[in-house]
Structure 1
Amino acid sequence: QYMGIETLVVDGVHKDYLHIAYKGNDILYVPVEQFQLIRKYSSRDGKPPHIHALGSPKWAKEKARVRQKVDGLADDLINLYAERMRQPGFAFEPDGDLQLEFESEFGYELTPDQAQAVEEIKKDMETPRPMDRLLCGDVGFGKTEVALRACFKAVVSKKQCAFLCPTTILSAQHYRTMQKRFEKFPVNIALLNRFTTTKEKKQILADLKEGNIDLLVGTHRILSKDVEFKDLGLLCIDEEQRFGVRQKEKIKNLRKTIDVLTLTATPIPRTLQMSIMGIRGLSQIETPPLNRLPVQTYVSEKSWALIKQVIERELSRNGQVFYLHNRTENIYEIASTLQTLLPNARIGVGHGQMDKNDLEDVMTDFVEKKYDILVCTTIIETGIDIPNANTIIIENADKFGLAQLYQIKGRVGRSERIAYAYLLYTKDRAMTEEAQKRLTAIKEFTQLGSGYKIAMRDLSIRGSGDILGGEQAGFIDQVGFDMYMKILQDAIEEKQGKIKEDETVPSRNVPVDGYIPEDYVESDMEKLELYQRVYKANDLETLKRVEHELTDLYGVLPSQVRNIVVKRRFDILSHDPLIDDVKDSSQGLEIRFSKVFLEDLDGQKFFAYVNHMFKKPQMKYTDGMLTIVSGMEPYYVSASTEFLDSVLKQYYKTHTSA
């Protein structure tokens, strides 16, 4: 258990340590420059880990067990990736005049994130291997426009596109958007969902097979066996996690040969994990559109008085309200209670068990402002765009998953008005710790563009587990998410034959009176971050930049902090190939130069250097190695750093042409 940072004095030298507690009363102090040896434990449901005794072999055994289990998974991932790499994909044409004309027709300027995402997708499409990219961005952040640019690029290259949606209502909405967006261009669009008539369906299937339809938008119906494309080049999937196992299997097979772009506001942990590991490309849109305001989020005990007040306030500004009650058996009772509370309000009811035509009518009427309040189930969760609805009330919010809550909350706040979300829980009902965490997280992430952060938090609350299977938990609880990911990544790299080179310059074990005093930086977290930045600097230029930033943020470096920077400078300089070893001996600091350094060294000049830099230096020459011992105080690192810097510069100046 991490207990914080402590400054200790060892052999007269001040230094900061991470205080780590083990089982019983065992304590270990880890020097801060070795922070990378510590990993944060996070698992599903916030489950606490087993704490072992110091020196116990149990931890090593647990890691070994997980490593064994992960081996098969690593093989599956490598095979999946290799299979996609082997498949000859289609290289789409670079942008031409028609593409530029289409893009210039968009009524708004792209945000920097959107522009970056468009660039990444086009780059993938222009390579001759199948694209598999995840486009992550909040509701209303412009993912659809990015996807439509990809669709247009495919159509220009004479390929067909499929746009897959999780709900009928969303497919109809996308269809309307596409008709408007492509109206000036020769793109044939068709809609295939449960509302398509038999006659229309027959015609669409025939046209699709002959290549007369460029872009087909619809629900999972477009994955059916009777749907045959003449030449499908791009599949766009809106919220893949909403599809069932059979549909996902069909998508997985398509993924091997065609370009796939997946759009999501909050990726499920498994999808996110694959992106983090580089199996799928990841593009993020974090910048909100101009004038978009964050949704004001409140967590409260359910009270009809509060509900009445909230709805009346929204209706007084001519807005509309979503009232989410996720139990169809008594949804009409809730609607009746609301009607009694608000006799003048026009109330509609929508849920998944209704007749499809009735549901479509209710949703259409709500969009056309024929209802003030829509009492509904999670059918509204995905994608529907109703800018006039800016208050949402969610009953039993503690029963929903974090990503799901975030999605539902995204139904409001899609205009320039301030929107409100009320997450209600029932009084006297015990709430699980995980539910409390979810509600806290959703309240924390009220700022715009939090979908990705929500997914990351979801990853640590629920755990991530088996990437390819349906399990979200896997072996995470045994070693924690962070360690699990490292084991999996190492297993993959090892199987791919990659030699993992340690790019970090290790810290030399030389005593330096360096630490961060309380009056310079108070917070432990900030101290840790500061140490990480210094010790992650692997060259002098980066270290200098970090030093400037620290001065800028916290003020002039006190001597204790400056010593940390000087010590890091010494670490970097002393890892030059010309230096064989550095150690702290009873006489002082020993620097041993390699044979390469000595081959054609000017001894007199070097001796002059040493005497100039050190007081009473000692020089030893044994086994073809030259060792210099400097008998100085604990602050000798500063002088040694100047000495090394000077010697190395002089050496390279006279021995290399560069």
Structure 2
Amino acid sequence: FGAAGTDDPLYEAVSAGRKHQGVEHWLPFFHERLETLFDYLPKASVMLDDQVTPTRLARWDSVADQYETRALALENKSRGDSVYKPVPAGLLYLDDAAWEAAIAGRRVLQLAALPQAIGADVVDAGGRLGRNFAPERQQENIGLFNALKDHIEAKMADGPVLLASYSEGARERLEGLVEDEGLIGAVTVTHAGALGKRGLYLAVWALEHGFESPGLTVIAEQDILGERLIRSPRKRRRAENFLSEAQSLSPGDLVVHVDHGIGRYLGLEVITAAGAAHECLTLEYSEKARLFLPVENIELLSRYGHEEGLLDRLGGGAWQAKKAKLKERIREMADRLIRIAAERALRRAPVMQAEHHAWEAFSARFPYTETDDQLRAIEDVMADLEAGKPMDRLICGDVGFGKTEVAMRAAFVTAMSGMQVAVIAPTTLLARQHYISFSERFRGFPISVRPLSRFVTAGEAAKTREALARGTVDIVIGTHALLAKGLRFKDLGLLVIDEEQRFGVAHKERLKQLRSDVHVLTLTATPIPRTLQLSLSGVRDLSIIGTPPVDRLSIRTYVSEFDGVTLREALLREHYRGGQSFFVVPRISDIAGIEEFLKSQVPEVTYVIAHGQLGARDLDDRMNAFYDGKYDVLLATTIVESGLDIPTANTMIIHRADMFGLSQLYQIRGRVGRSKTRAYAYLTTKPRMKLTTTAEKRLRVLGSLDTLGAGFTLAAQDLDIRGAGNLLGEEQSGQMRDVGYELYQSMLEEAIAKIKAGEMEGLSEADEKWAPQINLGVPVLIPADYVPDLDVRLGLYRRLSGLHGKVELEGFAAELIDRFGKLPREVNMLMLVVRIKSMCKRAGIALLDGGPKGATIQFHNDKFASPQGL
């Protein structure tokens, strides 16, 4: 291998018994020759798609180019550099000659999409594109389903009819739709072999369009309903499940126990109680005192949220005193929030409503299917505009999830009600993007849309200002130029603020003055921590858009050491498919090295540099040039973090990803994958550098987190700690430090709910979080040989403690079987104990000790609601 001893990564890895990344590429050195699939299937026929040849040749060119680039890098390396040593491509892959030799003498069936002259070697397979019900969709639904029913009944005379849907949830809904039309008895199948000679069938098959062939009709979900049925909430739940598992504790973390205060989590330990194994979380308190908490009561723990803190004394009174003092403070804060909300409710604002047909026509122009969350946000905003009091609503959602559409609908209603709209963005690029999309969307309606930023000439800007004062401009879109003191509106009705947190203090003050009696809609892609969501729930209304658009593909994410050849290939692949790429570095000082890499290794692409030390005008010009497609690559610092919407940019390379926070990485990665094109993100680290445990965990979580919108929740959790101080103020941050942010948050939430319900006395003892203790002398644990990964096990315990009722527990059990196999007895017992615990909580039972001779029951606070009921 030519390994140069100790400084070679391959040598180091083999010596340490570690797997070296890409080690499989050296496989040819260990065998006379490598077998292919053709060697294992010597007599098999081969079926080839019509795109096989161009795809195969393009792939071979890419592999050969990689080999040559690596060979060149090896030749030019300076002493001491560790460079990957490539193997000739022909030893690993079939070149053109080897491919031809492999299929020679076999029966080859070539599929062709275009009709050929029918002859001895050409057969018509008889498949035809199925019927699309688009014309009927334009009419009322009655026409569509009648036509579908007639079509199905006619086709069933010739053979089976199969309705194909994308997901299980969509299949259920499709089944309901056809049953409503009187087509009862559709059978669900999993493969084509299960189809009978006649009848109606349903299957989960990912087909864009249906087809008809002799004796079979397939109708796809999209043929009937157009855009796919809205996804079921399962995907989002899966994301939340993943998060609660990813957010599990590591030994050494500080935690807060509701009754005993701040302790240190040491790990999971199996202890034997009443002759049965029971898994517990071991917590250490001051003076090395230990507490064993049964896993089924894990909900009594919350993460402290800070790296350091003083451990409480087990059994001491200090913790309870601290909590009681805080409870009073929290009540005051909740009171203040409720008062602000009440004052706001007394102010008046004009009622806005659009004429029904105009509204329908405007909404129908939206080219996509609205997601559930988007529809909910639109309904919330419309209700606010009709309520006659000033709206102050925050729309919080991931980039590209459709916040702008909500703002456009609000702007439409306001303008059609005869009032003006101002849309304010923090950068000229964002303002320009909004202006382009608003102009497109409002074309053809009697609504005038004008821009106001430094890209508008002085003459044009003056005209726009006059028109605003006269009332002949309905919607104005711009940057902080709209906040200038001299700007006058004839009748401002709605203020839309994009990314408010990026405006300076003076601008925020000016926004407050404008706010008094106009409707305000704020859009943000920065996740709002849950702590603040509830603080804000008293002050302003919140709509969260957490579902990605239908058909959005998740971003493929790779985490690896910096490797020039891989990055060259990634940049060229994006370049050749007509797209653009981002190359993000953590510090301005890193730019020069990456610029040198782009010049020497990827001369085929053009690039532009952007960072925060450039003048505002220069930075804007560069960003706009990239937006207009004048460059292939934007080499930038974290200024690309939020708001940029460039659908053609679908490759993201993050240099030294270990230097970024989790929410930052997520926000930066969110710049790509904004269209239906698959996007790629490469998180690179310094070669041969040992990462800190936190950095490694962060990158691992992000690498595996490809559920859309899930990262938004994840970033919100990451921000929970860091974001709290600046929005809640320093005092609250200090209080949060006393008890940890999770417990603080739940106490505040409870206080607000109680005051709203009119129970002004704040939190009583009865509201305290508590959990029944159950001892039944049976083993209660998830065995280590069933789920070996400790983090996953802890995450599962955490999820299990939050489940209620038989249905949720059954679902959890089914998931465990899918993931880990048949449930062992200990897990069945654990599920049973969790169910009994939930029943005890409802009945107010604090302790249940059971054994062969009977059971002992103790009630919570020694109170029993209905003694006579015993």
Query: How does the TM-score come out when normalised to structure 2?
Result: 0.58
Inter-CA distance 170–484: structure 2 relative to 1 (3 Å threshold) = same
d(CA) in 1 for partners of 2:706 and 2:832? 41
d(CA) in 2 for partners of 1:437 and 1:582? 38
- Structure 1 residues 265-274 or 278-287, which shifts more? 265-274
Counterpart residue identity of residue 315, structure 1: H
296, 316, 333: which one pairs with 1:56? 316
Aligned to 1:229, the other structure's residue is in SS state coil
Q: By how many angstroms is 1:286 displaced?
A: 2.7
Aligned to 2:465, the other structure's residue is in SS state helix
d(CA) in 1 for partners of 2:339 and 2:726? 15
Aligned to 2:853, the other structure's residue is in SS state coil
**2:453 is the counterpart of 1:225:** no
Counterpart residue identity of residue 381, structure 2: I
Question: Are the aligned partners of 1:514 and 1:562 in contact in 2 as well (CA < 8 Å)?
Answer: no
778, 796, 811: which one pairs with 1:526? 796
Q: By how many angstroms is 1:178 displaced?
A: 0.4
Question: Are the aligned partners of 1:87 and 1:130 in contact in 2 as well (CA < 8 Å)?
Answer: yes
- Structure 1 residues 330-339 or 342-351, which shifts more? 330-339
Show the counterpart of 2:584: 324
Q: By how many angstroms is 1:172 displaced?
A: 0.5
259, 262, 287: which one pairs with 2:547? 287
Show the counterpart of 2:404: 144
Counterpart residue identity of residue 163, structure 1: V
Question: Are the aligned partners of 2:420 and 2:492 in contact in 1 as well (CA < 8 Å)?
Answer: yes
d(CA) in 1 for partners of 2:502 and 2:515? 17
420, 443, 450: which one pairs with 1:190? 450
- Structure 1 residues 494-503 or 338-347, which shifts more? 494-503
- Structure 1 residues 304-313 or 404-413, which shifts more? 304-313
Question: Are the aligned partners of 1:83 and 1:256 in contact in 2 as well (CA < 8 Å)?
Answer: no
366, 374, 378: which one pairs with 2:634? 374
d(CA) in 1 for partners of 2:614 and 2:775? 74
Show the counterpart of 2:853: 633
- The equivalences for 1:598-617 within 5 A come to none
d(CA) in 2 for partners of 1:453 and 1:410? 13
Aligned-residue Cα RMSD (Å) equals 4.3
d(CA) in 2 for partners of 1:258 and 1:193? 22
Show the counterpart of 2:345: 85
Q: By how many angstroms is 1:148 displaced?
A: 0.9
Inter-CA distance 69–275: structure 2 relative to 1 (3 Å threshold) = closer
Q: By how many angstroms is 1:83 displaced?
A: 3.2
d(CA) in 1 for partners of 2:339 and 2:510? 18
CA deviations over 1:583-616 (Å, ceiling 9, x no partner): 999xx99xxxxxxxxxxxxxxxxxxxxxxxxxxx
Question: Are the aligned partners of 2:369 and 2:550 in contact in 1 as well (CA < 8 Å)?
Answer: no
Show the counterpart of 2:712: 452
Question: Are the aligned partners of 2:276 and 2:779 in contact in 1 as well (CA < 8 Å)?
Answer: no
d(CA) in 2 for partners of 1:514 and 1:31? 13
- Structure 1 residues 156-165 or 12-21, which shifts more? 12-21
d(CA) in 1 for partners of 2:456 and 2:564? 41
Q: By how many angstroms is 1:207 displaced?
A: 1.8
Question: Are the aligned partners of 2:650 and 2:673 in contact in 1 as well (CA < 8 Å)?
Answer: yes
- The equivalences for 1:107-126 within 5 A come to 107-126=367-386
**2:470 is the counterpart of 1:201:** no
Question: Are the aligned partners of 1:324 and 1:393 in contact in 2 as well (CA < 8 Å)?
Answer: yes
Show the counterpart of 2:511: 251
613, 622, 646: which one pairs with 1:386? 646
CA deviations over 1:436-482 (Å, ceiling 9, x no partner): 56544543434321353133232345362353438995444432111
Inter-CA distance 403–227: structure 2 relative to 1 (3 Å threshold) = farther
Counterpart residue identity of residue 227, structure 1: L
- Structure 1 residues 135-144 or 358-367, which shifts more? 358-367
Q: By how many angstroms is 1:168 displaced?
A: 0.4
742, 745, 752: which one pairs with 1:482? 742
- Structure 1 residues 304-313 or 414-423, which shifts more? 304-313
Q: By how many angstroms is 1:198 displaced?
A: 1.9
Question: Are the aligned partners of 2:848 and 2:856 in contact in 1 as well (CA < 8 Å)?
Answer: no
d(CA) in 2 for partners of 1:478 and 1:468? 15
- The equivalences for 1:527-546 within 5 A come to 527-533=797-803, 543=805, 545-546=807-808
Counterpart residue identity of residue 570, structure 2: V
Question: Are the aligned partners of 1:84 and 1:257 in contact in 2 as well (CA < 8 Å)?
Answer: no
Counterpart residue identity of residue 376, structure 1: A
Q: By how many angstroms is 1:26 displaced?
A: 2.2
- Identity of aligned pairs, percent? 37
Gaps of 5+ in 1: 538-542, 576-580, 590-631, 638-643, 652-658
Show the counterpart of 1:28: 291
Show the counterpart of 1:40: 303
Between the two structures, name the one with larger relative contact order (CA 8 Å, sep ≥ 6): 1
d(CA) in 2 for partners of 1:81 and 1:482? 24
d(CA) in 1 for partners of 2:446 and 2:348? 29
Show the counterpart of 2:500: 240
Question: Are the aligned partners of 2:774 and 2:848 in contact in 1 as well (CA < 8 Å)?
Answer: yes
Question: Are the aligned partners of 2:662 and 2:698 in contact in 1 as well (CA < 8 Å)?
Answer: yes
Show the counterpart of 2:678: 418
Q: By how many angstroms is 1:274 displaced?
A: 4.5
Counterpart residue identity of residue 853, structure 2: E
**2:734 is the counterpart of 1:464:** no
**2:609 is the counterpart of 1:349:** yes
Show the counterpart of 1:176: 436
Question: Are the aligned partners of 1:389 and 1:412 in contact in 2 as well (CA < 8 Å)?
Answer: yes
Show the counterpart of 2:17: none
d(CA) in 2 for partners of 1:37 and 1:428? 41
d(CA) in 1 for partners of 2:303 and 2:688? 34
Q: By how many angstroms is 1:176 displaced?
A: 0.5
Inter-CA distance 417–223: structure 2 relative to 1 (3 Å threshold) = same
**2:659 is the counterpart of 1:395:** no
Question: Are the aligned partners of 2:663 and 2:718 in contact in 1 as well (CA < 8 Å)?
Answer: yes
Q: By how many angstroms is 1:112 displaced?
A: 2.1
Question: Are the aligned partners of 2:396 and 2:528 in contact in 1 as well (CA < 8 Å)?
Answer: no
CA deviations over 1:466-521 (Å, ceiling 9, x no partner): 53438995444432111222344456567772655858998778865566454798
**2:430 is the counterpart of 1:167:** no
Aligned to 1:39, the other structure's residue is in SS state strand
Inter-CA distance 203–438: structure 2 relative to 1 (3 Å threshold) = farther
261, 273, 285: which one pairs with 1:9? 273
Count matched residues: 581
CA deviations over 1:184-204 (Å, ceiling 9, x no partner): 211111211122222222222
Inter-CA distance 477–570: structure 2 relative to 1 (3 Å threshold) = closer
Aligned to 2:583, the other structure's residue is in SS state strand
d(CA) in 2 for partners of 1:115 and 1:285? 9
d(CA) in 2 for partners of 1:357 and 1:221? 14
d(CA) in 2 for partners of 1:368 and 1:232? 32
Inter-CA distance 214–35: structure 2 relative to 1 (3 Å threshold) = same
Counterpart residue identity of residue 291, structure 2: L
Counterpart residue identity of residue 483, structure 2: L
Question: Are the aligned partners of 1:241 and 1:268 in contact in 2 as well (CA < 8 Å)?
Answer: no
Show the counterpart of 2:394: 134
d(CA) in 2 for partners of 1:344 and 1:381? 26
Aligned to 1:465, the other structure's residue is in SS state helix
Show the counterpart of 1:593: none
Query: How does the TM-score come out when normalised to structure 1?
Result: 0.74
d(CA) in 1 for partners of 2:429 and 2:846? 69
CA deviations over 1:85-124 (Å, ceiling 9, x no partner): 3322343337722111110121222122222221222223
Gaps of 5+ in 2: 1-263, 788-792, 858-863
Inter-CA distance 265–510: structure 2 relative to 1 (3 Å threshold) = closer
Inter-CA distance 430–238: structure 2 relative to 1 (3 Å threshold) = farther
Question: Are the aligned partners of 1:394 and 1:423 in contact in 2 as well (CA < 8 Å)?
Answer: yes
